[in-house]
Chains A and B, each alone.
Chain A
Amino acid sequence: MQSTELIWTLISFFLTLLIFSYIFGDNPFFRLTSYLFVGVTSGYFLTLIIYQVLIPRLWTPLFEGSLLERGLTLIPLILGLLLLMKVFPRYSKLGNIPMAYLVGVGAAVTIGGAVLGTIAGQISGTIDIFDFTTQASLENNPFSQLFNGGVILLGTISTLVYFQFSTVSNKDGSGERSTWIEWVAKIGQLFIAITLGALFAGVLIAALSALIERLDFLQRVITGFFY
């Protein structure tokens, strides 16, 4: 084991032990490690942004690029300077221009991707389930495929119905959803609960996997010192 690797292994070992000290409650060691992690991450982010964003995307084109590149680089430079004005309340309105640009472009990209990549893809995938020709070519059991497709369809519809809150008002001003919508909504509520449970289980499994990895690391380091 090289010396540098040993040093970084020991640092990792002690920092892991300090994090595990949280078993005994909140303590300065845990907080020290947390603050250290946040600080190192911020420093790493700054260094990464300088070397990965500012130098290759701003400095180099502005001082080493062609005239066209310099001219085009002024646009993000000005927008970036205006965005810095958000720090100063007196000139914060100047930052609205780059913010508008960022929000507009980001919304367009996200919405376009969501429509084409998620909604259209999900609708197409749900319809394909009931394409028995395709499923027959895949040699899947058509009944099981139909059942799976029916569950997916029920789950999709019932979940959408659950988030439907529009009602017709009664004479006394109150409004209640119709009975069949209430039943469908409850089915959707069930699907939502299963989904959230699956997500929680995934988080638990992810955390358990991380714990296993760290315990294996500690076990390896400890066995390494003795063996």
Chain B
Amino acid sequence: MEEMINCPMCGKPNQPGEKSCAFCEARLIPLLGSNEGQEDKWVHSSVELPEEGLSFDHLHESERKDSDKKIESLQGIPSIENEILLPGFDVHGVQENLLPNWLQNGDSKDEEKMGEERKEESQTEDLSSMDWLGVLRDGESGGVEISSQIEEIIPGSSSWFEENPPEKSLVSNLEERIYGEEDPLLDWVSSLEEDNEAGKEIDKKSVSDETDSDEPLTVFSPVPTDSPEESLVDPTAWQGTSSFDSSRESFSQKESELPPWMRDSSPYENPDIPEIPEEKHDFTKDFMLPLDDEIPKNETSSSFPEMDLKFETIEPGEDIPEPIESVEQEKSLFTEEEAHLSPSEDHSVDLETMLSEMPEWMRESEDKENILQLESESIPEIIQEHIEDVSGTIKNELNLVDENQDQVQNEEITGKSFLTDEMAEWIKNLPDEEVFPEQDDKTEGSDLSENDVIIPEEISKPKFVDQELPDWLDEESVIESAEPEETESPHSMPLDEESLQPGMMPTWLAAMRPVDAVIPESSTLEENAEAEISGPLAGLFSIIPGEGLVTQYKKPPVYSIRLQVSENQRREAALLEKIVADERKIPDIDSKKARSKHGFLRMLVGLVLIAALLLPLIGTPVGSMVTDLKLSSIGQDFYEVLESIPQDGKVLLAFEFDPGFYGEMSLTASGVMERLLQKEEQFVLISTVPTGPVMGKNLLLKGMEQVAPESPEVQVKYASENIVVNLGYLAGGATSLKEFAISPRKAARLGMGVNVANQTVWNHPVIQNVNKISDFSAVIVFTDKIETGKAWVEQVKPEMGSTPLLFVSSAQAAPMFLPYLQSQQIQGMMSGLGDGVAYAQLMDLPGERAGYWSAFRNGLMVILSLILIGAISQGISGLFRTRNKNEA
């Protein structure tokens, strides 16, 4: 009965001859081409070691020189090659053992989250590889097991193995090449062969258990036994301890014998087995699919780097330190592997033939490396750095191995190496970089093992750093040991200095150079600069010494800002401040209190003044004359000038007063107007004040009433405006006066009350001959303001020539015109009620001016009396107030 084919995917048995799994439809038969025989040879050569030439003694001697890193060199080999070259050797286990305890603990902690199912799958895969190796060790009789185990690794390869039974294991080939024809441990191998039958049974049982059992199995346990001799030499003991014992009981028994630290380091015992990514299984399927007939030379060379591993065995009776360091543990692992591989059947397969017959999926190993490289990117950087360091060490170890190999070749101990004349030409012609990949390539190759052992991302740098690194992982030691060898590395590309041209910096780049790069002093300054000693800027150069500057400053001296003022100045300043403050205040006016306090007094003063004024007005008989009043000298001048005006002369009358002063101005100017009317002068009225023309007209009519109250002819004459021209309002103030003085026709083109559409005022017969200001006989200004009077003096008088300028002024403005009278700029002036009454009395003019003068005098007396009474009362009150203060 033909054996069932186990599905590499689900592990369930399938009928022989089926190409795909009935359960999961996974491919059971590999996609192989026509060269089945070659693939057959390749499989056998890849899994079998030559029996001849094995020399473990030599291995001991060569490996002890640098035994600490020998196991690590395996990490530089792609894992798939490890699986092929060293069947039964669990790379994951080795890697786990290579990892220090602290890293494994970290892994175990982080991987507690992983599911049990995934853990079982990973262990099953590892066990399958172990079973596959075990079957290989059994020789041809284990062909079915080989095919079944390879089927687990490489789906679809079982049928291929059935058609192409293995002839010689690769391990035996390797041993043959490493140790030569002679086998110093031949007895040991023979003893293994004797027990081979028992081993077959055990292997079969283990394989069946692996496929059927769901429980995690222990593939290899590098547990030091109590007797090193037994564990290393006796293959039975090796099988019993480290072969495919899947029973939990045996494992538990062995586990109990382990020291605590070994229990933690055992990847199969630890429940926190790193999760194997699913991509690995998919990857296996993927690279199995594209199978080509020819193997690319480059990929094949990279897939099989030249490597001869020599394993160290522990001499019987040699004490193994307790606890065994990880490297020592790996040594024992390899020793056990040697013991495990040594009983393999003798299959002399030519390596060249083996390489040429390499299956397509092996040629894709480089692709696998690339994929693994991508997968390795998920590993934290710090782990990768350590892996790189370790891989660098591995590279060195490989070099040492090469040197040892050369030494072995020189001593003609070994028969054939990888690179012998028998090797294919394309392998010989390969460049060294491809045969011996660079360190990075080895690192990538080592990532395969890293890929198997998933290091969770939670392993952060602090956790990594906190742990104490073992000596062999110490960066300094690794670097120190690696650096001199790196310099001597034959793989480093020699620099041809002659071929290198001196670098020329382009001008545009030179122009962009920083100034510091050009100025050499900057570096000198930085060197001379002192570094900050303390504070947050400690260690920095050229720091501005802020602390020193702060200490240089001192508290500024206090200067007195008190103003040096005298007492008098202070009092005046206080008074000014009070005045300003009072201006801003809005006083609360209580009308009742104001009336009660000042109302009676105000009313009393008003009534007294009115009474004093009314009595003379009422009591003075009409037509009475004032006999005691004489015209002043200034009035005399006015009188003389006015009398000098020729009859029918053209007199310019400027009325520059407001209606408020009409009463005073009328009393003052009435005598002048009456005299002018008596002389039948022609009048031209003008004013720079808007109300001036009206005031002038009223004053003229009042004079007419006084002059000819009973002469309608005179009134009609003046009323018909035959002798009177009103030029009206002259807008512009002093400027217009200046213009009027220069050119009267332009300044006052239109008169008041004249139809401007038909004629201009200057066509009037009174002024038709007047072209300039000096053409007037006299200019009489009736004003109550200083400014208007000054404007006439300043602007018009210079243009008047010999024309007299007379002022009839209000009493309030008269003092300011006296200097002009003194300087003869004004030829005469009459001011106030007194001059008016005196001029009328002088001219013997009719009117009631005697009553006005009496009222005026009474009024002045009342005012002077009130002022005197007020002053006396205020003085008396002040005197009493001072006396009261002195008494108090």
Show the binding face of A for B, using Cβ within 8 Å. 20, 23-26, 41, 44-45, 48-49, 51-53, 55-57, 60, 64, 105-106, 109-110, 113-114, 116-118, 121-122, 124-126, 128-129, 152, 172-174, 195, 198-199, 201-206, 208-216, 219
Main secondary structure of the interface of B (DSSP, over half): helix
Q: Within B715-761, which residues are at the interface with A (CB < 8 Å)?
A: 728-729, 731, 733-735, 738, 749-750, 752, 756-757
Across the interface, do A122 and B819 meet the contact criterion of CB distance under 8 Å? yes
**Which residue of chain B is the closest to A117 with respect to CB atoms?**
B794
Please give me the 8 A-B residue pairs with the lowest Cβ-Cβ distance, nearest first: A125-B823, A213-B663, A117-B794, A113-B794, A202-B812, A209-B664, A56-B750, A23-B606
Contacts of A64 in B (CB 8 A): 757
B810 CB–A CB distance under 8 Å: yes
B790 CB–A CB distance under 8 Å: yes
Across the interface, do A202 and B815 meet the contact criterion of CB distance under 8 Å? yes
Binary per-residue interface labels of chain B (808-834) against chain A in the complex, 1 for a CB within 8 Å, 0 otherwise: 001111111001101111000001110
B711 CB–A CB distance under 8 Å: no
Across the interface, do B795 and A109 meet the contact criterion of CB distance under 8 Å? yes
Across the interface, do B667 and A212 meet the contact criterion of CB distance under 8 Å? yes
B340 CB–A CB distance under 8 Å: no
Contacts of B610 in A (CB 8 A): 20, 23, 211, 215
Across the interface, do A198 and B815 meet the contact criterion of CB distance under 8 Å? yes
Contacts of B822 in A (CB 8 A): 125, 129, 152
What's the Cα separation between A217 and B595 when bound, in Å?
Answer: 29
Q: Which of B75-83, B182-190, B434-442, B856-864 lies on the face that meets chain A? A: B856-864
Across the interface, do A117 and B731 meet the contact criterion of CB distance under 8 Å? no
Across the interface, do A118 and B852 meet the contact criterion of CB distance under 8 Å? no
What's the Cα separation between A118 and B823 when bound, in Å?
Answer: 10
B666 CB–A CB distance under 8 Å: yes
* Among A20, A57, A118, A212: residue with most chain B CB under 10 A: A212
Across the interface, do B614 and A219 meet the contact criterion of CB distance under 8 Å? yes
Across the interface, do B833 and A52 meet the contact criterion of CB distance under 8 Å? no
Contacts of A117 in B (CB 8 A): 790, 793-795, 797-798, 825
Across the interface, do A199 and B815 meet the contact criterion of CB distance under 8 Å? yes
Q: Nearest Cβ distance between residue B428 and chain A, in whole angstroms? A: 99
Contacts of B729 in A (CB 8 A): 48-49, 52-53
Across the interface, do A118 and B793 meet the contact criterion of CB distance under 8 Å? yes
**Which residue of chain A is the closest to B825 with respect to CB atoms?**
A121
Q: Within B22-70, which residues are at the interface with A (CB < 8 Å)?
A: none
* A212 in contact with B617 given A52-B752, A199-B812, A206-B664 (CB within 8 Å): yes
Across the interface, do A202 and B813 meet the contact criterion of CB distance under 8 Å? yes
B618 CB–A CB distance under 8 Å: yes
B602 CB–A CB distance under 8 Å: yes
What's the Cα separation between A44 and B591 when bound, in Å?
Answer: 34
What's the Cα separation between A201 and B831 when bound, in Å?
Answer: 13
Q: Within B564-622, which residues are at the interface with A (CB < 8 Å)?
A: 564, 591, 594-595, 599, 602-603, 606-607, 609-610, 613-614, 617-618
**Which residue of chain B is the closest to A149 with respect to CB atoms?**
B822
B456 CB–A CB distance under 8 Å: no
Q: Which of B602, B728, B734, B790 contacts A118 (CB 8 A)?
A: B790
What's the Cα separation between A53 and B855 when bound, in Å?
Answer: 42
**Which residue of chain B is the closest to A211 with respect to CB atoms?**
B613
Contacts of A201 in B (CB 8 A): 811
Across the interface, do B833 and A53 meet the contact criterion of CB distance under 8 Å? no
Contacts of A44 in B (CB 8 A): 690-691, 694
Main secondary structure of the interface of A (DSSP, over half): helix
Contacts of A208 in B (CB 8 A): 613, 833, 856, 859-860, 863
What's the Cα separation between A110 and B790 when bound, in Å?
Answer: 10
Q: Which of A105, A172, A205 contacts B811 (CB 8 A)?
A: A205
What's the Cα separation between A64 and B749 when bound, in Å?
Answer: 15
Across the interface, do A52 and B855 meet the contact criterion of CB distance under 8 Å? no
Contacts of B599 in A (CB 8 A): 24-25
B482 CB–A CB distance under 8 Å: no
Contacts of A24 in B (CB 8 A): 599, 603
Q: Which of B663, B738, B752, B794 contacts A212 (CB 8 A)?
A: B663
Q: List 7 A-B contacts (CB under 8 A).
A: A23-B606, A52-B731, A60-B756, A172-B564, A210-B660, A215-B610, A215-B855
Taking A208-B859, A211-B859 as known contacts, 7 extra A-B pairs with beta carbons closer than 8 A to each other, sorted by chain A number, are A25-B599, A25-B602, A48-B728, A53-B731, A113-B738, A117-B795, A216-B848
Contacts of B859 in A (CB 8 A): 208, 211-212
Q: Nearest Cβ distance between residue A101 and chain B, in whole angstroms? A: 11
B784 CB–A CB distance under 8 Å: yes
**Which residue of chain B is the closest to A156 with respect to CB atoms?**
B819
* A199 in contact with B816 given A206-B810, A210-B664 (CB within 8 Å): yes
Across the interface, do B790 and A209 meet the contact criterion of CB distance under 8 Å? no
B472 CB–A CB distance under 8 Å: no
Q: Nearest Cβ distance between residue A124 and chain B, in whole angstroms? A: 6
Q: Within B612-657, which residues are at the interface with A (CB < 8 Å)?
A: 613-614, 617-618
Across the interface, do B663 and A125 meet the contact criterion of CB distance under 8 Å? no
Contacts of B750 in A (CB 8 A): 52, 56
Across the interface, do B667 and A114 meet the contact criterion of CB distance under 8 Å? no
Contacts of A204 in B (CB 8 A): 863
Contacts of A113 in B (CB 8 A): 734, 738, 791, 794-795
Q: Which of A114, A126, A195 contacts B815 (CB 8 A)?
A: A195
Contacts of A48 in B (CB 8 A): 690, 728-729
**Which residue of chain A is the closest to B834 with respect to CB atoms?**
A205
**Which residue of chain A is the closest to B618 with respect to CB atoms?**
A219
Across the interface, do B832 and A206 meet the contact criterion of CB distance under 8 Å? yes
What's the Cα separation between A172 and B562 when bound, in Å?
Answer: 12
Across the interface, do B606 and A121 meet the contact criterion of CB distance under 8 Å? no
B180 CB–A CB distance under 8 Å: no
Across the interface, do A216 and B617 meet the contact criterion of CB distance under 8 Å? yes
Q: Which of B607, B690, B816, B851 contacts A23 (CB 8 A)?
A: B607
What's the Cα separation between A44 and B752 when bound, in Å?
Answer: 14
**Which residue of chain B is the closest to A26 with respect to CB atoms?**
B591
Contacts of B790 in A (CB 8 A): 117-118
Across the interface, do B823 and A122 meet the contact criterion of CB distance under 8 Å? yes
Across the interface, do B564 and A173 meet the contact criterion of CB distance under 8 Å? yes
What's the Cα separation between A208 and B610 when bound, in Å?
Answer: 10
Contacts of B784 in A (CB 8 A): 206
